[in-house]
């Protein structure tokens, strides 16, 4: 009987396709920035513990962190179809049961844990989303026990090999938009063996709860974290309203002077959340006033479908001119590019109608582009070479290659311009943001 292939074993086809998959991911975002990769341990096994906000894209972003293969887990129900299960196994994904599947099903996780330990013993990075499910919010969910059971059992079976849980914070510019941005923060690793030794006086259950609290704390330090309560929308709106002012002050701050772009926004947003939390304790009346303004701004902005980037992203004159020039240059290409990618857009829309969870949209769009665009390019190339001289066909084929990116980029610029105009014309909303800034800055001069 043939030996069953281990999920972590080298696969030449998988390694070959990784180049294309990673390239497709990079083209799906304008910016992917990894921060803190120097923290990744080099002397043992690693369990990545990212927050979960954007379905499949979270795994893709973690996978592209470096060239090493990584093994992931996904909810077990999607493995019920044998063909899908075969594809998932090929992509180095293992099933894991969740409490919602029932206690009898959860007991089957022992096999998953054993396989995960085997992966770690081979020093292949293992990734599990501790929250167990995803939510498209800048917040967090309670951590499940699966990651800790795997970590403790693996460390017990590998006493001579260091094992680390590495918290990872994923911060998307927009959860639902193609060609958005993503910032990946590598948090402070937890040495599981050292943790167990330092907490040897605790019972196994107490050790698990203590490690759970520690990981939860370090994950929150790695993300843009807003408590998921009744004031979430208001806090998010206030962060956007004052971020420009805060980033401007970083120029005179030796510690933060070099922060730019995604890093500056990340730091500024977390500073705002921290200050508002302190304000709730020290000056509850002022906090209530700011929350009321934040809620009002959120309702007004959403009523006109205005993007929050119109509020939070400040572009100087030079940047605006460059954007306009790019838009003008790309516009003649946009119509044929849109026609060439129409089959992809059509398939995406059909699938979107069946998906209630918006967080899956980027994942669906990514997979559809990944699969359909090479097929369409082959079809278009065959037609071009059949009807035109080979030189003309070659030129048209090369010109068609970036069509999905150009079509989406022009659409994005149109959408941003439309949103900016709406904000400019919506005096009531602009006045609301002005009140937020004045009240915030008057009491917190940064």
* Cβ neighbours of 76 (radius 10 Å): 19
Question: Rounded distance, CA 300 to CA 294, Å?
Answer: 10
Average pLDDT estimate for 371-396: 95
Q: Are residues 197 and 240 in the same domain?
A: no
Structurally, the chain folds into a number of domains equal to 3
Q: Are residues 72 and 31 in the same domain?
A: yes
More confident residue, 60 or 322: 60
Global pTM value: 0.90
Contact predicate 414/330, CB 8 Å? no
Q: Are residues 119 and 260 in the same domain?
A: no
Question: Encoding tokens for residue 394?
Answer: 């070659």
Question: Rounded distance, CA 266 to CA 224, Å?
Answer: 6
Average pLDDT estimate for 282-293: 94
Please indicate, yes or no, if residue 312 is contained in any of the structural domains: no
Predicted pLDDT at 209: 95
Question: Rounded distance, CA 20 to CA 104, Å?
Answer: 40
Quickly list DSSP for 328-366.
HHHHHHHHHHHHHTHHHHHHHHHHHHH---GGGHHHHHH
More confident residue, 325 or 313: 325
Predicted pLDDT at 98: 58
Question: Rounded distance, CA 251 to CA 243, Å?
Answer: 14
- What digits encode the pLDDT tens for the residues 39-83? 999 888 999 999 999 988 999 999 999 988 999 988 777 788 888
pLDDT tier for residue 251 given thresholds of 50, 70 and 90: confident
Please indicate, yes or no, if residue 172 is contained in any of the structural domains: yes
Q: Are residues 130 and 32 in the same domain?
A: yes
Question: Rounded distance, CA 172 to CA 235, Å?
Answer: 17
Domain that holds residue 147: 12-221
- What digits encode the pLDDT tens for the residues 144-196? 888 998 999 889 888 889 999 999 999 999 988 888 999 999 999 999 999 99
**pLDDT > 90 in the chain, percent:** 62
Please indicate, yes or no, if residue 291 is contained in any of the structural domains: yes
Predicted pLDDT at 432: 95
pLDDT for residue 108 is more than 70: no
Predicted pLDDT at 254: 67
Question: Encoding tokens for residue 227?
Answer: 């408590």
Predicted pLDDT at 106: 55
pLDDT for residue 393 is more than 90: yes
pLDDT for residue 1 is more than 50: no
Predicted pLDDT at 157: 87
Please indicate, yes or no, if residue 314 is contained in any of the structural domains: no
Predicted pLDDT at 134: 87
Q: Are residues 64 and 196 in the same domain?
A: yes
Question: Rounded distance, CA 175 to CA 160, Å?
Answer: 41
Contact predicate 2/149, CB 8 Å? no
Predicted pLDDT at 96: 78
- What digits encode the pLDDT tens for the residues 5-46? 788 888 899 999 999 999 999 999 999 999 999 999 988 899
Predicted pLDDT at 105: 56
Please indicate, yes or no, if residue 313 is contained in any of the structural domains: no
Q: Which of 265, 229, 233 is nearest to 246 (CA)?
A: 265
Question: Encoding tokens for residue 108?
Answer: 């089957």
Residue 208 CB contacts under 8 Å (≥ 6 apart), including other chains: 145, 148, 149, 152
Contact predicate 53/170, CB 8 Å? yes
pLDDT tier for residue 97 given thresholds of 50, 70 and 90: low
pLDDT for residue 203 is more than 80: yes
Q: Are residues 416 and 277 in the same domain?
A: no
- What digits encode the pLDDT tens for the residues 400-441? 999 999 998 898 888 988 999 999 999 999 999 999 999 998
Please indicate, yes or no, if residue 112 is contained in any of the structural domains: yes
pLDDT for residue 2 is more than 60: no
pLDDT for residue 344 is more than 90: yes
């Amino acid at each position: 009987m043939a030996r069953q292939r281990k999920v972590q074993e080298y696969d030449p086809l998988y390694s070959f396709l990784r180049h294309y998959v990673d390239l497709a991911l990079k083209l799906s975002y304008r910016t992917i920035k990894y921060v803190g990769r120097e923290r990744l341990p080099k002397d043992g096994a690693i369990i990545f513990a990212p927050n979960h906000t954007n379905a499949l894209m979270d795994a893709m972003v973690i996978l592209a962190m470096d060239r090493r293969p990584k093994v992931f887990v996904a909810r077990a129900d999607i493995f019920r179809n044998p063909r899908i299960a075969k594809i998932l196994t090929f992509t180095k994904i293992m099933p894991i049961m969740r409490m919602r599947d029932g206690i009898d099903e959860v007991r089957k996780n022992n096999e998953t844990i054993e396989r995960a330990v085997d992966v770690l013993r081979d020093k292949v990075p293992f990734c599990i989303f501790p929250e167990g499910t995803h939510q498209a919010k800048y917040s967090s969910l309670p951590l499940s026990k699966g990651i800790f059971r795997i970590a403790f059992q693996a460390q017990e079976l590998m006493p001579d090999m260091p094992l680390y849980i590495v918290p990872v914070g994923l911060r998307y510019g927009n959860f639902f938009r193609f060609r958005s941005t993503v910032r990946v923060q590598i948090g402070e690793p937890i040495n599981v063996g050292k943790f167990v030794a330092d907490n040897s006086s605790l019972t196994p259950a107490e050790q698990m709860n203590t490690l759970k609290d520690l990981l939860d704390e370090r994950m929150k330090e790695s993300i843009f974290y807003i408590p998921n309560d009744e004031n979430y929308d208001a806090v998010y709106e206030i962060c956007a309203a004052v971020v420009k002012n805060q980033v401007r002050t970083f120029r005179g701050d030796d510690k933060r002077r070099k922060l730019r772009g995604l890093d500056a926004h990340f730091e500024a947003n977390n500073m705002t959340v921290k200050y508002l939390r302190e304000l709730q304790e020290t000056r509850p009346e002022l906090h209530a006033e700011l929350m009321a303004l934040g809620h009002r701004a959120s309702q007004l902005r959403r009523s006109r479908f205005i993007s929050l980037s119109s509020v939070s992203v400040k572009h100087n004159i030079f940047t605006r001119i460059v954007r306009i020039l790019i838009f003008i240059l790309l516009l003649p290409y946009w119509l044929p590019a849109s026609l060439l990618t129409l089959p992809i857009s059509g398939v995406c829309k059909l699938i979107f109608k069946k998906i209630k969870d918006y967080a899956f949209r980027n994942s669906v769009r990514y997979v559809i582009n990944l699969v359909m665009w090479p097929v369409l390019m082959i079809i278009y190339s065959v037609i071009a070479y059949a009807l035109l001289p080979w030189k003309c066909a070659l030129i048209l084929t090369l010109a068609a290659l970036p069509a999905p990116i150009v079509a989406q980029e022009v659409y994005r610029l149109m959408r941003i311009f439309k949103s900016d105009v709406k904000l400019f014309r919506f005096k009531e909303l602009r006045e609301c943001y002005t009140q937020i800034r004045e009240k915030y800055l008057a009491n917190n001069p940064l």
